[in-house]
Chain A
């Protein structure tokens, strides 16, 4: 078995061990975030299994996907808060220079 095959096998075992069941679990998972936002097709296999999971897990998976893809559709920040935070960042960067 080549080292590449061993690595693949290790990754598959690792993937099977991952147990995401709630919306929060998915939203905190780095691979899920990358898969959803970066459309990384090489990760599709792993995530396709969630579509065949129990109704509850499937719903959590779909809900988390929906949340990540629609994060820019509303805002809880006022324009003043946005500006204030921006100025804070700019000030910190100015100090760091």
Chain B
């Protein structure tokens, strides 16, 4: 049970962490990682995604060390942050995978030649636009975005394929997406 002694210990560790003690941050992780993981399992079965989100939550908490008020109630802060992170990921996954282009096109009637022609032309133009936008990226950014959005790989796999650590892959993706957005706005 999330008892008073856990709260007391948490308060001590937060005080030490905010005073610059990194070991206290490690202890906070030890105290809360199981709580977060168990909570996350109520929302998803994807353990890798869950670990990715817990990673992001703790990295964010670390950045809050100078803002003691926001992490005063660390238990609820961590759980709400994890929930929001997971919901963001669900939304993103739905957005990218709910209606895959391949499925959409194969379900259409094949008898309608004019419709097929228009659809094929539309698809060709979209592909052209995507490849033009991708030209704005570096080779590594293009590879990371292709692996994640087109091949639907998980971050762990991408790290392995690209021989990069998790944080660098996330940064690469982030910078790539910024460039794509910027290019799409200009186009």
Q: How far is the CB of A20 from chain B (nearest CB, A)?
A: 14
Q: How many A residues touch the partner, as a band? A: 20 to 34
Contacts of B42 in A (CB 8 A): 24, 27, 67
Interface mask (A77-97 → B, CB under 8 Å = 1, otherwise 0): 100011001101111110110
Interface size on B, residues (CB 8 A): 34
Report whether B6 and A72 are in contact in the complex, using a CB–CB cutoff of 8 Å: yes
Interface contact A37-B73, CB-CB below 8 Å: yes
Closest to A91 in B: B165
**A22-41 vs B, Cβ < 8 Å mask (1 yes, 0 no):** 00100110100110011000
Q: Which of B54, B62, B73 contacts A38 (CB 8 A)?
A: B73
Tell whether, in the assembled complex, residue B43 and residue A34 are in contact, meaning their CB atoms are under 8 Å apart.
Answer: no
Asked if B55 is an interface residue, CB under 8 A from chain A, the answer is yes
Identify whether the interface residues of A are mostly helix, strand, loop, or mixed.
helix
Are the C-beta atoms of B59 and A92 separated by less than 8 Å?
yes
Task: Closest B residue to A73 by CB, please name it.
Answer: B1
- How many Å lie between the Cα of A72 and that of B35 in the bound state? 5
Known contacts being A71-B2, A72-B1, A77-B37, is A86 close to B43, with CB within 8 Å?
Answer: no
B contacts, CB < 8 Å to A: 1-2, 6, 26, 29-30, 33-35, 37-39, 41-43, 47, 51, 54-55, 58-59, 62-63, 73, 75-76, 79-80, 83, 87, 165-168
